[in-house]
Structure 1
Amino acid sequence: MNSTPNDTRKTAVIIGASRTLGLGLAAEYLRRDWDVIGTVRGSRRTGLHDLAEASGGRLTVESLEMTDPEQISALRDRLAQRTLDLLFVNAAITRGDIPIGEVPTDMFTDVMITNALSPMRVVETLRPLVAPTGTIGVMSSDQGSITLNTEGGQDLYRASKSALNQLMRSYAARHAGDTRTLLLMDPGWVRTELGGPEADLSVEESIPGVAETIERHQGKPGLHFVDYQGQVVPW
């Protein structure tokens, strides 16, 4: 479904918007009267397609396999005439709570490529489309905080989010002086496939805070590691 851009509305691209947090974020920005471009993997119908049909043309669904650099470049080309106020990378995977010494090499590679390398490829490739006063954000986690890791567990997922944080820090240093806002976002412990059924928050409780925190940081250049309540998360 093709959206009709409106010059008076802001535009958000949400990478990984087929379900849970990404889908919730797409819906939240529609409620805030933004135009939204959300990505899904493959051609399978998802909740994002249903949301697009009800959006009055304000939501566009794009196909993207984030781990394929050629698909990222193709997405950039398709969006070349758009100016983005927000680029937000939500996509991530987990492979269970396995001690790091027992993690197979291919599993380690898969999670690191998906959770750390691929989001940065998206950021690097789509950055020119983001307005000078816009925001580039990636979904991190308090599990990416080395300071907060006092109990262990989820070794590989934690390591992938710590790697993502470090890569974003390197990106920020490399682009020192850039006027865009850079965000590492911790959505809280949310009841998703990654968070599990015992998590504290529903998507509906987390996502409005995520969007509000993103908006409060607009116009504040540099890298910020914050949670859905706007609190600073320690590195």
Structure 2
Amino acid sequence: MRDTRRTALVVGASRTLGLGIAAEYLRRDWDVIGTVRGSRPTALHDLLDKAEGRLTVESLEMTDPAELSALRDRLAGRTLDLLFVNAAITRGDLPIGEVPTEMFTEVMVTNALSPLRVVETLRPLVAPTGTIGVMSSSQGSVSLNTWGGQDLYRASKSALNQLMRCEAARHAEDGRTMLLMDPGWVRTELGGPEAELSVEESVPGVVATIESHRGAGGLHFVDHLGETVPW
């Protein structure tokens, strides 16, 4: 019989929003698996002593398919109630005509292709009525883009949203819930120092929104207040 305590896998949990989400689920008495890049100690490791055995830290370079396959093999036999992919990068606010090809490729691979590889590779581990979420952004909304800027980052999040829609359509009969999550404008490396929200202000809403959609099925683009974000 399966342990009644639920399990969340948070990909990209070493700092800021990913770390906050992992910590929030620990506070809610979940078992948490968090991934970090490389083997150096991170702020996630600092939670191990207080987690009373409920936290596992795994190493994953999300853009490396071999590392992703190895993680899947290490987690074989575990059932996830939540798979949440948080990792993303930005490379500054350049007009698209000034973006080098290598930069375009790096951001698209990290922000759009790799999260969907994670979803497709680890989907079999997610419970039949579990939740699969990725961290998106209102900047990925085409209809909300009325002032421009952040061309490459916006494009990568729009691509992520479209790929998640493809994934949802491919698994239309699947009972799992899929979420594109907008955390709000948060003071992180991505959001910058002028952002409206701290991580501590955003994360409880993010987790509450994830939990409010548990068992809903289908694909939802929502923000940290539980509101629908227009495509």
TM-score normalised by L of structure 1: 0.97
Quote the offset at 1:24 in angstroms: 0.2
Correspondence for 1:65: 61
1:1-235 matched pairs, under 5 angstroms: 7-235=3-231
1:4-52 per-residue CA deviation (whole Å, 9 max, x = no partner) reads xx81210000000000000000000001100000000001110000012
SS of the residue aligned with 1:219? coil
Structure 1 residue 70: deviation in Å?
A: 0.7
Residue 112 of structure 1, CA deviation = 0.2
Residue identity matched to 2:43:
G
Q: Specify the SS of the correspondent of 2:24.
A: helix
Q: SS at 1:47's partner residue? A: coil
Report the alpha carbon displacement of residue 177 of structure 1 after superposing the two structures with TM. Answer: 1.0
2:32 alignment partner AA: V
* Unpaired stretches in structure 2, ≥5 consecutive residues: none
The residue identity in structure 2 corresponding to 1:59 is L
Shift of 1:53: 2.4
Equivalenced residues, count: 230
Q: Which runs of 5+ in 1 are unaligned?
A: 1-5
RMSD of the alignment, in Å? Answer: 0.7
Give structure 1 regions of 4+ aligned residues with deviation exceeding 2 angstroms.
none
Residues of 2 paired with 1:52 and 1:19: CA distance? Answer: 14
CA distance in 2, matches of 1:201, 1:24: 13
